[in-house]
Amino acid sequence: MTQTLDRPGSEVADRVEAWVSAFQDALSARDVSAAVSLFADECYWRDLVSFTWNIATVEGTDEVADLLTTVLDRIDPTGFAVDGEPTSADGVDEAWLTFETAVGRGTGHVRLKDGKAWTLLTTLDELKGHEENQRERRPFGTEHGANPDRVTWKESRESEAEELGYTRQPEVVIIGGGQGGIALAARLRQLGVPAIIVERNERPGDSWRKRYKSLALHDPVWYDHLPYIPFPDNWPVFAPKDKLGDWLEMYTRVMEINYWGSTSAESAEFDEAEGRWTVKVTRDRGDGPEEVVLRPAQLVFAMGVSGKPNKPEFPGMEKFRGVIQHSSEHPGPAGYEDKKIVVIGSNNSAFDICGAAWEAGSDITMVQRSSTHIIKSDTLMELALGGLYSEEAVRNGITTRTADLVFASLPYRIMADFQRPAYDEAKVRDQEFYDQLREAGFDLDFGDDESGLFMKYLRRGSGYYIDVGAAQLVADGKVKLVNGQVQEFTETGVKLTDGTELEADLVVLATGYRSMITSVADIIGEEMATRVGKVWGLGSDTTKDPGPWEGEQRNMWKPTQQRNLWFHGGNLHQSRHYSLYLALQLKARQEGIAGEVYKLAPSHHKE
């Protein structure tokens, strides 16, 4: 992503201006052939809602032609123009663009090779006439003058909180109150869309507070801002879980989000004729549980990337005399000092738990069942994130929004090619560290195609560890390591298939989570969940991400096979970035201005 800025009026600017002018002329003339001729044979057009009312990527000139033939008349794109100075590096010209459609305004980004489009990103930023309530459109906050019937801001807010879900219905119900649900609810509020979050935990942030005590974010602060309110300049680089929990609670109050804590979603049924859901919830406002029926038009599941904890059943578990916990249940090593702990797994949670247990004085053993990608945190920040998300990037004028759009401009099909050099450099930079791990018997990988962390995360959401120190404990033998598969539990521990027996007082199953759809099925039913299919993954035909190729995250942030059913989640970066595009889709449906969806996600068998 390194860019070399050319002088204003240079050949680079001329080439970009010529392409943009020709592209707009072709679109205005509805000349699909002329527009397609401006794309290279190998080309990728990624659209976030603006042309497709979807999140979709088309690949190759035939697919570009199909997209334009299908949507051009109704989208009516106008005003494509270069925004700022184009740049050039390694024979690729790049430029930011602005444009409008029949209903909205957008941002674009283009990469040109030999004067033709290699990659094109188009995004919908706002809906005309339904812009967010901010800056020059911010609310006044009070009423000047005398009014005996004055309603204060506080009274209005209290009335809304009391009425919504009872005497008037929300447009959107969001099931899940972590960072994803909160970010989306904040976006919807700025767009004037009434929404309620339904969350089992009592308070915002409890999903973080209740995890093991050593947990902290492995992503740096510059990558993790929420919409509208960035973390302050003195925020820790890696946010501790309780501090993040407090921030989410504060954010929810400041953004005036209707957050129904201590509320569980029991069932949801969709009336196709009426176009509304019946969502039955059990809510406890402090005086005992009550049943409430919500009737939203749109239902969003914001339950992260994962669903239910994956708790494998091993023979003999019932006779084990110690304690068995899934990593989601593990509170930390308190009470297990000087005890023997076996952790089944070798990814993020496993390492965090092992590190905390070693610090507490426990006798700790990690069981690695399959290879793991490890990248040092400081290496990740410097080589993979630093150009976009870092203090240096901030000093260079790269805003969070700009960084997000640069990242979004890389089609998933070729993203690995952009990622691989950073991880190739990491192998050299941290060779001694990796050699020590291998000598300790640790099974390392960098992904099926050596493209590292982000591609592993995007493809399957697991199989990696961002090292904040615990990996060195394994390399040094302070955390004992065994490789193999669990055969059975005994009264005193765990036996592996090679005959190795591990004594344990506590066994922690750091075995990950199942697909989000497994939790969703409990609410919407198996039939609907099966029709919607897999959530997350690209269909890359790599480990744990079987095909077919879809080119985008399956069913995330976009229309699904079930009308008015949506999924939102991911890390803080994805929750921030994609919440805008999901909110715009929901607002457009509320206002009746959403167009036909192009390239609707296919249905797959449920995981």
In this predicted model, what pLDDT tens digit does every residue of 38-57 receive, in sequence order?
Answer: 999 999 999 999 999 999 99
The candidate with the shortest Cα–Cα distance to 302, out of 105, 509, 516, is: 516
* 365-423 residue pLDDT tens: 999 999 999 999 999 999 999 899 999 999 999 999 999 999 999 999 999 999 999 99
pLDDT at position 10: 85
What lies within 8 Å, CB to CB, of 423 at 6+ separation is: 375, 383, 384, 446, 450, 451, 452, 453
pLDDT at position 7: 44
In this structure, CATH architecture of domain 309-513:
3-Layer(bba) Sandwich (3.50)
* 64-110 residue pLDDT tens: 999 999 999 999 999 999 999 999 999 999 999 999 999 999 999 99
* 299-310 residue pLDDT tens: 999 987 666 788
Quick one: angle between helices 241-254 and 179-190, nearest 10? Answer: 20
Q: Give the integer Cα–Cα distance in Å for 187 and 444.
A: 40
Q: Is the pLDDT of residue 4 over 70?
A: no
Instruction: List the single range of 79-93, 193-207, 483-497, 530-544 with lowest mean pLDDT.
Output: 530-544
Q: Give the integer Cα–Cα distance in Å for 372 and 349.
A: 12
Q: Is the pLDDT of residue 162 over 80?
A: yes
pLDDT at position 607: 44
Would you place residue 602 in the very low, low, confident or very high pLDDT band (cuts 50, 70, 90)? confident
pLDDT at position 543: 86
Domains 160-307+515-590 and 309-513 are alike in CATH topology: yes
* 348-368 residue pLDDT tens: 999 999 999 999 999 999 999
The candidate with the shortest Cα–Cα distance to 527, out of 270, 174, 306, 176, is: 270
Calculate the average pLDDT of the chain.
94
pLDDT at position 3: 42
**CATH ID of 160-307+515-590, from 3.40.462.40, 3.40.50.150, 3.40.50.300, 3.50.50.60:** 3.50.50.60
**CA distance to 226, 376, 579, per residue, from 185 (Å):** 11, 34, 9
pLDDT at position 305: 64
Pairing of strands 259-260, 195-198: parallel
* 414-430 residue pLDDT tens: 999 999 999 999 999 99
pLDDT at position 215: 85
Say which residue, 222 or 334, is predicted with more confidence: 222
In this structure, CATH architecture of domain 4-127:
Roll (3.10)
pLDDT at position 522: 94
Q: Is the pLDDT of residue 199 over 50?
A: yes
pLDDT at position 306: 64
Domain ranges, ordered by start, for the chain? 4-127, 160-307+515-590, 309-513
**CA distance to 182, 184, 474, per residue, from 535 (Å):** 20, 18, 33
Q: Is the pLDDT of residue 1 over 60?
A: no
* 200-223 residue pLDDT tens: 999 999 989 988 788 889 889 999
Average pLDDT over residues 228-244: 96
Q: Quickly count: other Cβ atoms within 10 Å of residue 136's Cβ.
A: 5
Output the pTM of the full model: 0.94
Average pLDDT over residues 448-468: 89
* 5-34 residue pLDDT tens: 444 458 999 999 999 999 999 999 999 999
Q: Give the integer Cα–Cα distance in Å for 572 and 220.
A: 10
Q: Would you list the DSSP string of 317-364?
A: GGG-SSEEEETTT---STT-TTSEEEEE--SHHHHHHHHHHHHTT-EE
